[in-house]
Every structure is written in structure tokens, then in C-alpha cells.
Copies of this chain bind each other. A is one copy, B any other.
């Protein structure tokens, strides 16, 4: 089985490839080759199968065609300009997220008799407020950002190209990934990970919102699990509705902090500094808080059951089991 990962240099892409290398198999089949693609060179990795690295821009006509010319059996399309950048640079967001996705789908379509499984990472940003208490599988597409619009368009194309038999597409709407490893970034959502990651590493973290803010989380390990399941489950029950809201965990910031206390003690919690930021509070107020991901759960997708578990996964996978 030949696997293509587009967006291989990103956090989720790196973890996905590490998992595929560790397993050596996908859906019961031996992986015989993996192509790791990104606009910057993905890191080298040891794997029991040959890994080919490709660097190009899929929004340049012809590049997507070159990527799929050797007919990978499974394509993970993770590449995207993130929300903040797609809002700041309109042209770049549409070029990569809109044109790039369409070029990829069309490149697959134009190869006669080739119908790969194509896993597309969508986002809960396809939904915009006002929301019901829990957002169901049939809530309508109401993006309030260009990024969310581009992901929603990707979902629609994926469904139409699948219906026409050009590919076997699955769109998965990822929760906010927490605890996100690495350094703090400027994303408005950054604090959800920061208030756990920094205290666990013995550093101060800033909390810009009140503790009653609720949000929808899953660990990086769960995200990789979603991708693997999306690549291998039976898509027949999907019918024409090919995109799924992934399961996750709805917790308040206060519940996150209490979980941190249980896992790492009062000393860790004491490293969280309150610094209310009305701008961030307002952005976050427009975000989804909770989903009813009944459809994905019924199809076998699994997320964490407690925030303690999400923290422990971070400690195991990123900190070698040690907390500061």
C-alpha cells in the first residue's frame, strides 16, 4: 500500500507519519511506500518502508497531478493555510485552501480508473455562531472566516467528487488539538494548550479568558487516530454526506485547570497567570463550544473521555512521562 501525506511538515502530519512508521501497516495492509509532501521539506524519519520526500506548492497548476501520478492508494490532505493567515492574506488562503484542494481532487479525477481513499482535514470553523447548545451532525455550514469558507467548499467538492465516483472521500472536522506541542504561538486559541503545556514544563502561562469558557478538544494522538480510522473504515454508510464532525471533549477552562491540578499538582496550577484580554475573549465567544458527534461515534471514531487523559497523553508523548 502506497500512502501520500500532503502537509507532512505540520504538527499533525509529522505525528501521522511517525505512527505509520511505527505500525508499518494501515488497515491491515503493509505499507510499501510513503510520500511525504509539503511546501517546506518534511523532517527525515526512520520507517520500515521507503519514504520519498517531495517539496512543491499544490496550488501551482500541474503540481497536484505530479503528486498523484503514481496512484497512491490513500491520500491524506492535511495541507492548509491556517485561520489567522487566511484571514490576513485573502489571496494566499484562497490559493492554497481553495485552488490547492480543487487541483488535488481534479488531478485524482483525471486519472482513468483511479479511485483512492482521500482523507481531507476539515475544521469546526465551517460552523459560525449563533449555535445551538450542542452542534449536531446536521447543523448548517455557516463559516464566519475565509478559512472556514474554504474548508466548507472543500467538503462540498469532496462530496460531489465522491458521489461521481472519482474518489472515495472522507472529510473530518477536527476539534481544537490540545495539548498542542511546541512553542506558544499567536493563535487566539493558543492559551487552551498553553495553560497546560507551559506549567507542565515549569514555565508561566497566560490565561486571557474567564474560567467558564467552554471549548471542544481532542489530543494530537486522537487526531492521528481519526486520520487512520478515516483512511480505513467502510465508507458505504456515509452515502452522499462525506464529512463528519469528529468526537471530542467539551470542557471549561476551569475544568482544564482542575485536571492539571490532579495530574501535576498545585505548583503547576500556580504557574497560570490571569491576564484578561477582551479581544481574545470576544473572538473565543464566537467559537463552537460543544458538538453532538453522534454520527462519527457510531462509525467508530474515538476521542478522549476526560481532560486528565488529554494531559497524560501530552506527558507521555512529549515529556517522556515526566512533569516539572
A residues bordering B, Cβ < 8 Å? 90, 128, 138-144, 146, 149, 152-153, 156-157, 159-160, 163-164, 240-241
Residues of B within 8 A of A142 (CB): 240-241
Whether A141 contacts B156 in the complex (CB less than 8 A), given A128-B240, A240-B128, comes out as: yes
**B164 and A90 contacting across the interface, CB-CB below 8 Å:** yes
Taken together as a complex, chains A and B put the C-alpha atoms of A177 and B34 apart, in Å, by: 52
The answer to whether B143 touches A140, judged by C-beta atoms less than 8 angstroms apart, is: no
CA of A160 to CA of B143, assembled, Å: 8
Partner of A156, one of B90, B143, B164, B241: B143
Q: Which of B90, B139, B146, B160 contacts A140 (CB 8 A)?
A: B139
12 sample A-B contacts, Cβ–Cβ < 8 Å, listed by A number: A140-B140, A140-B141, A141-B141, A141-B156, A143-B156, A144-B163, A144-B240, A146-B160, A146-B164, A149-B157, A153-B156, A153-B157
Q: How far is the CA of A279 from the CA of B217 in the complex (A)?
A: 47
Q: Tell me the bound Cα distance from A128 to B163 in angstroms.
A: 12
The answer on a CB contact under 8 Å between A156 and B146 is no
A140 to B140, CA, bound (A): 4
CA distance A8 to B142 in the complex (A): 31
